[in-house]
Amino acid sequence: MPSSETLAATGNGAGDVGHVAASPSPPRIAIIGAGSRGWAYAKAVCSATNGIVVAVAEPNDYKRTKFGRSFIWGKGSPPDEGAVFDHWRGFVDYEANRRTRALAGGTDTPPGVDAVFVCVQDEMHREVVLALTGLGGLHIMCEKPLATRLQDCVDMYRALRSNTNEKGEQLVFSIGHVLRYSPHNMLLRKLLLEDRVIGDILSVVHTEPVGWWHFTHSYVRGNWRRESTSAPSLLTKSCHDIDVLLWLLCSPPSSSTATQDPPHLPSTVYSVGSLQYFKRSRKPAAAGPATNCLSCPIADSCKYSAKEIYLKQEGVGLESGNTQWPVKIVVPDIESYGDREEAKSVLLAELAKDYDQNTPDVEVARRNWFGRCVYESDNDVCDEQVVTITWDEDIPRAASGTGTSDPAGGRGSKTATFHMVAQTKRVCERYTHLYGVDGEIYADSETITIQNFITGQTTTHKPPREGGSGHGGGDQGLTRQFVTAVDKVKNEGWSTDKAQRELIGCTLEEVIRSHAMVFCAEEARRGKKLVDWVEWWAKEVEDKLSHVSAT
């Protein structure tokens, strides 16, 4: 991860959230996908970096136009050439043609872009990233997860390693693991690995509470409900969390030691989990044959009523004044209806849509059904899962000067347990217990509390939530680090390797490792077995890297 000095210099230290100074030649950014994630990153580019958003590719007319007017061409001006595309392929084709014109000496050729944020649906990541690496010359930030299939991740890993500049240097790449970049988690990692406030870590228990209604929105009714069209929920929801665990327990303490210290690799992986609740066997008998909330006889008493959640729920529903997530996921242009009753009518009409036994499965799978009964949906992803990862002792050495009572120097045996749970009031407010030889830590979304066994003291830290932005400031932090890395390469002569190491703080190998860990855990869960990580990695990743996928 970036050093504390580098973070302070780029405005991403735990106590520094200032804006980066303007540049005479700012990084030029394209956003592919103008949904909630594309919007979040564009907002962060404009508020927390010296970059400028100059192009958007988005098939939805309303999203594309609103995005462009908000971040690129404004309300009173038409878009410039190369600023707007209704498909990502249009951007790629345009950029290839623009370069041809520039090489031919065209004096009216507009400048291109330096970097691209890939924010399309998960299953499209492979195709888009491979097209961008084939185009060449672009730094890339891809929203998480990298891809929905392990082979796709491997294909992208191979392509990204070959995405080089004219010097043969691998261009900057970042993944949307925004939890690494929140002030809270950055401070937690510093306390653990640099300050070693609890000595060697022995075990970590980390929980992601998805939230009882949030899970139904995204994983029962929404985009990520079916593995066949998306991926396991451990990947689509919790690859963030698996990545954080490996970042804390596997990666070297700082970028300055990364070249000397190899990662402390896991030894075994085990997982259990299933779709426990959101299925037909759990349906209340009083609901009868109803498959849609708007025609259900017990809708008024059911907490999962779509009408209750999207229309009435305080702080969530339309009647409480909310036109953002999740309401705008149901009706993307909900804000365009100035009359509240008209907006309500449109929302209810969307919630009333349903399918029956005569609807082809391909039609059911291709769209979301936000009014569908949560016990009658076509979802199949886990709503509860536990993953256990172990590490054997590795390279024991004295930890002189750290005050620790353990000689393993951070590479002793340890265990991490991750729990994803749907049925909870908390919505993505993660919490973690960390147990070490010299103390323990409890970290939630607000505080980090340290109990020191040696001194008996209790210390509490409350890191800032940067501007109230998403993921505890992680959206802004990741965006700032990526755009700053692009700027340093473009304007200050930094090598891409230096920018990747000191500003992104995450290597391509770390990206593929954390994603591979999810697929490994899924193999363990499905096979009801303990998996040897080193053997699995050699077979499922290293061997695949030597074989190019045919698709």
Give me 298's structure tokens: 């017990």
What whole-number distance in Å separates Cα of residue 327 and Cα of residue 331? 6
Are 389 and 401 within one domain?
A: yes
Report pLDDT digits (tens) over 109-154.
999 999 999 999 999 999 999 999 999 999 999 999 999 999 999 9
Taking residue 153's Cβ as centre, other Cβ atoms within 10 Å add up to 24
Are 9 and 120 within one domain?
A: yes
Determine the pLDDT at residue 404.
47
Residue bearing the bigger pLDDT, 445 or 290: 290
Are 185 and 172 within one domain?
A: no
Are 17 and 163 within one domain?
A: yes
Report pLDDT digits (tens) over 304-333.
999 999 999 999 999 999 999 999 999 999
Are 16 and 165 within one domain?
A: yes
User: Among residues 436, 498, 405, which one has the least CA distance to residue 169?
Assistant: 498
- Domain limits at 398? 181-278+380-467
User: Among residues 25, 388, 42, 355, which one has the least CA distance to residue 234?
Assistant: 388
Instruction: Please give the distance of CA 228 from its chain centroid, rounded to a whole number.
Output: 20
Are 164 and 25 within one domain?
A: yes
Sorting pLDDT into bands at 50, 70 and 90, what band is 473?
confident
Give me 275's structure tokens: 């779709």
pLDDT at residue 17 above 50? no
pLDDT at residue 488 above 90? yes
Report pLDDT digits (tens) over 193-205.
999 999 999 999 9
Span 1-18, average pLDDT: 38
pLDDT at residue 13 above 50? no
Determine the pLDDT at residue 194.
93
How many domains are there within the chain? 3
Of 252-256, 404-408, 547-551, highest mean pLDDT? 252-256
Determine the pLDDT at residue 546.
80
Specify whether the CB–CB gap between 442 and 8 falls below 8 A. Answer: no
Phi, then psi, of 189 in degrees rounded to 5: -65, -40
Degrees, nearest 5: CA angle 518-522-526:
175
Residue bearing the bigger pLDDT, 465 or 446: 446
CATH number of the domain within which 476 lies:
3.40.50.720
Lowest mean pLDDT among 47-61, 155-169, 461-475: 461-475
Determine the pLDDT at residue 145.
97
Specify whether the CB–CB gap between 114 and 29 falls below 8 A. Answer: yes
Instruction: Please give the distance of CA 457 from its chain centroid, rounded to a whole number.
Output: 36
Looking at the domain assignment, is residue 202 inside a domain?
Answer: yes
Looking at the domain assignment, is residue 527 inside a domain?
Answer: no
Mean pLDDT over the full length of the chain? 91
Lowest mean pLDDT among 30-34, 462-466, 482-486: 462-466
Span 502-524, average pLDDT: 97
CATH number of the domain within which 236 lies:
3.30.360.10
Are 203 and 245 within one domain?
A: yes
Are 154 and 297 within one domain?
A: no
For the chain, what percent of residues have pLDDT higher than 90? 84
Looking at the domain assignment, is residue 272 inside a domain?
Answer: yes
Determine the pLDDT at residue 470.
59
Report pLDDT digits (tens) over 387-441.
999 999 986 554 444 444 555 666 899 999 999 999 999 999 999 999 999 999 9
Give kind and range of the element (H or E) at residue 230.
none
Looking at the domain assignment, is residue 67 inside a domain?
Answer: yes
Question: What is the strand order of the sheet 28-32 is part of?
Answer: 84-85, 52-57, 28-32, 115-118, 139-142, 173-175
Span 67-82, average pLDDT: 94
For the chain, what percent of residues have pLDDT higher than 70? 90
3-state secondary structure of 524: helix
